[in-house]
Amino acid sequence: MKKIIFIMFLFLVCTQLSYAQQTGANSATISRTTLEQEIINLSKDKWQWMSDKNVDKLDPLFHEKAVFVHM
């Protein structure tokens, strides 16, 4: 009997925690600030430059002793 009650309690706790991680409908419509959008765009551009191996555009973004490990 104790085992069944414990399992039911554990199930209820896990269920509640899983609902706590869901985001509301408003979180998808949050507008980004200009600075946040610039950072996102730079990140996308940097990724593209790395995949294209465009060293000239990547040079100002990294320290001179930085070493490329993986992408």
pLDDT of residue 64: 85
Tell me if 10 is assigned to some domain: no
Residue 7 included in any domain: no
Count of structural domains, the chain: 1
65 Cα distance to chain centroid:
27
Residue 27 has pLDDT above 70, yes or no: no
Answer whether residue 63 is part of any domain.
Answer: yes
Model-level pTM greater than 0.85?
no
Q: What is the predicted pLDDT for the residue at 20?
A: 59
Domain ranges, residue 61: 32-71
In a domain, 36, yes or no: yes
**Range of lowest pLDDT (2-11, 16-25, 46-55):** 16-25
Averaged confidence pLDDT in the chain:
80
Best CA proximity match to 71, nearest among 57, 27, 52: 52
pLDDT at 48: 93
Structural domain contains residue 40: yes
